[in-house]
Structure 1
Amino acid sequence: MVVKQPRGNLPYEASSFVGRTLEVASARRWLSGTRLLTLSGPGGVGKTRLALRMAAKVGSAFRDGVWLVELATLEEPDLLVQAVAMTLGIRDWSSRPTREVLLDYLTDKQILLVLDNCEHLIDACANFVQAVLRVAPELRVLATSRQSLQVQGEQLLLVPPLSLPDSDRVPLPDELDQYEAITLLSQRAGAGGRRFILTPDTIPLAVRLCRRLDGIPLAIELAAVRLRTLSIEQLVAGLEHHHHLLAGGSCTALPRHQTLRATIDWSFELCLPAERQLWARTSVFAGEFDIDGVESVCSGDGIAPADVVDLVENLVDKSILTRSDPPYSRRARYHMLETIRQYGQERLRAAGEEQRVRQRHCDWYQRLAEQAAQDWFGPNQEQWVTRLRSEHTNLRTAIEFCLAERTRAQSGLRIAGALWCYWMPCGVLSEGRQWIDRLLPLAPEPTRARGTALWVYSWAASHQGEPAASHASAEQCRALAEQLGDAQMAAYGLQVAGLSALSSGDLAGTRAFCAEAWRRHLALGQMASPAVMALMQQGFAASLQGDFDQAVEYAEECVSITRAHGEQWTRSWGLVVLGLALWRRGDYQQAIPPLRESIAIKRTLHDLFGLGMATEFLAWSLTCTGRHEDAARLFGALERIWPLVGVPLMGIQPLAEHHEENEANTRAALGGKAFDTAFGKVAGMGPYQALGQVLGTGASEQGFSPKRDGQLWSPLTCRERDAALLIAEGLSNKAIAARLVITQRSAEALVERILVKLGVTSRTQVVAWVFERQDTSRTLLLRDGV
């Protein structure tokens, strides 16, 4: 039985959810009656937690999932559309505006889009929401904002503080669970196994405390942390003292924003001096960050590098920082709630450190980007993709700083140019081009950084079908290389000139430019992923020209070089071209293994465009070898991929014609009803899950025979084999645990045993191993007449 995984990206709740019973219970009614529901209220009142709980409550009603777009750290309104597109998995390789591609994709989708923290991008959010609601009739938007979006049809829900007892009475012990604020205080104070029990003597103090905090959840959470070291009497006295000072001597109730401010002020003052410094300095990070970043950006001038880990742990204990251990990384990650982060930024500014710390933040992410580019040609690409994806918001922030500080424009070019290893493999072309486009006029000096940015821009433009823009940048790169006498830059200039020719349909020009580029790369000893891609590019052009034998030679050389270095991304493209060339030469069966291997790599690297190309050519090969049902299912999976890419098959007409011909042949062979059944088996799935269902369980669908397959899957046990198949479906450790009904820790141990037994170091290698066994198993099935 195929179990469809829930679509979306809602995070798991790290702590218990308290109260809001009426709002959560009414979520379905509100969202069925309005297409835009905005949760509004002051900072710290719990808008985000309520939105996430409401979204989870109604998630099953949305066929295409619930998707959270976090906007707190997004400073550029122009990047709003790209942020939404990336959240939805859209990797736009077309020349069309990302907004247009996104709106087209959403037209028939039944999605709940959660836009969190809209207030600083209010105009951009309003314009986008208005446009998307106009074209997507089944889409709903749940927004959080400190102010209304002012969009027609918007329903505004003011999020109140948590409920409190009336001012004239103290509740009895058995009445406490009626009051949300008291419940939250009790739960947070007693978290982690700590003993905290309200008694008849302390209930009045708890009520007084929560009233003083106006029932604001964030203020209560910060205060509750102090109950680990202070008695409730001391806590109430300390808070009232700070509120008294803030009110200028008045003991009357303060406005809610002043209440929260006073609570955060007191939390800050109770920190040690080094903890205060670290709180302020870590506020320069956007979104999540890791210990390495904190040590590099925040140490010095009062913070010893050796003390950073302990200080970070202290801030986690005090609920200033929140720690997460994402399943995709072995690095712990940290983040701040936006209200806490904004307070830290104020303190950093007041200390006169903002400019210096932001420069250090920029320097750290420049080093990270350049290290990624330098280390890319090797076995660590999977880890780098994971790390760069998790640091995307910080990399944006670093580039934004370079744009604001014109003296740093060269640094901005170095970051944007080095990130070719993120823009291209992960399909973030439009954003990469946008940054380079804005930085080039600010850094006109003839430098290698400028040259790198020019060839990266040209490469991206050619893949997005903009030959004129690609050609112009290629020519500028070549001219700059000649001016500087930079042979490496000249080689890349020739290579992107070849790509420009390819996007113009000049296949002979492509081969000539890329051949010369490769000759120069070899002369320079330039073994880098984009350099070796010159072989693949020659092979692709040769295949389209009908020079199949030469295309196979180019592709095999590309695969051989990259395999020897443990490189994956360029190898996966070499395998794509090898599969295409073999298919066009009529070697249909031989085309299948390289294409399956390519798919295994591309799924791991999140190269959605390359995944589409490999899947296309594999579907054609299966059609031509008579495996029509599998081909039909792959054509169904392609329906999940190409809309997220923006343009199928690079818009190359001969390839589009092959697609139509092979799909028609498959339909004719199966018959319309059987084709539609196979095609529709992946309906409602995301692209990676769809491919996992088609390719990741091929042998098991026929039934696992210990006699026939036991030796084939050795040295894995049956349980380990099941986990390996789930890895091949692209599932995380958490998802594997859910599927096998075991704990996440057990799933992690299971995956680790698989890696050790197979003598491999990455999930990509496990996927390739599984695919190889499935191909062999399928051959045995056919041989045995199963």
Structure 2
Amino acid sequence: MNNITSFGPFRLDLKQRRLDKGDTPLRLGSRAFDILAHLVERAGTIVSKSDLMERVWPDVTVDEGCLRVHVASLRKALGDCGAGARYVTTHSGRGYCFVAPVSRSSATVLTNGERRVDDGSCKLPNCPAGTVGRDEAIQQSLAQLVAGRFVSVVGTGGIGKTTIALSVGHRQMEDFAGAVCFVDLGSVNDSLLVPSAVASALGFCIKPDDPTPDLINFLQDRRVLLILDNCEHVIETVAALAERLFIEAPRVHLLATSREPLRVRGEFVYRLPLLGGPPAEARLSAKRALDFPAVQLFVERVAASGTGFELSDADAPVVGEICRRLDGIALAIELAAGCVNAWGLKKTLEIPADRFNLLRTGRRTAPPRHKTLSAMLDWSYDLLSESERLTLCRLSTFSSAFTLEDALAVAADKGVDDTEVIDGLANLVNKSLVAVTPFGDTTNYRLLNAIRSYASGKLVELGEADAIKRHNALASRQWPALAAHVAPVAEPSVPR
């Protein structure tokens, strides 16, 4: 962890074991200080009581009452005693969480004439407050970054790729002496502007006519972690630049996020999994449900809306079903959780057949592509070729897993031949729009519920719904096994 961490008006110095509020040092007991240090180190993550007690009293057996006393002392020092805690929240039966945004710095001094990017030019957004169920993903991405210098975190939209990248970036701040640079490419509409966007984030001025050589020369002997976020819409340019940086700037480390791999030399692809949810169980208990990250995130976001929500055994099966229908997509879970205050749990689950219509309003500060599910899916759909769009829409008629042969039977038709379906299916997998589900010696595919619902609406807009229904009827007679998982073509279910 970095030596110095700031949050609100406070400054935490681990080396000197000191907590300041502005220019005033605060009196804080050693146990309370250790609790604060551990919570801040894992900011945004719920830390169990047993974990805290093992960390603060490693060789002593204490009860939870002792921990509560020191947490109360810590809260008093932070002025966190009233309703609506700003720094440390309690999660009943689970532990405590440090919820305030933090910024980290280091007193590390570089030696041997090492050159680095000026700290003042590198701006890293605050460490994400919510990393529920993502500790393993963060650790694996970090380990591969250290081992191989170049990692791409890949997954479907809204799954939490930026959260992973920022968490890794903050954990590496000390190792890179502050030279961690975050480049948000989401607002870069022209691929030719990618090198300029990177240079601007680094605080480096380059020539507008041919910026890439100047950028590579600038970074050639500098040690920096470059986070390239949201690469998919400018992927050709990012891929070429990333490969050159990997080869020609051997001290630069690269961490990219994208809905598809860059597919260049040196890249290690980490496919971010969906958040795990509980299986369908009629008697699912709250305790068992909370073992699953999707449920943890849903409950945390509902509670954060000010409802005082705590998961009960009666509500656990309903929450489990909501999370299953949302396929572990973090954005969808957060949006659904935001509806509970107005609709209630059961109505959130039951309200429509077109259940994604209720997910209209996201965080005000979210980028436009993450404000709603439809905006997130529009972003991916607009990046597809015409044949890929047709293939995706036709595949939306499957209600469950399907094989390549099934896909050819339904998707290969007017406008898309067999070769285009085969290539298109492979591209849709790479672009995180179709999931691969191996089953024995057979490779099966499926569309997540949100993607299938969206693509089904697009199928109707394309005027192909009736034709595909007839095609499916014919296909199911030719391939009887196909009939079991061909879904009816629905009306558009994602708001436009």
Normalising by structure 2, report the TM-score: 0.49
Task: Identify, as 1 or 2, the structure richer in strand.
Answer: 2
Larger Rg: 1
Higher RCO, 1 vs 2 (CA within 8 Å, ≥6 residues apart)? 2
Task: Identify, as 1 or 2, the structure richer in helix.
Answer: 1
Normalising by structure 1, report the TM-score: 0.32
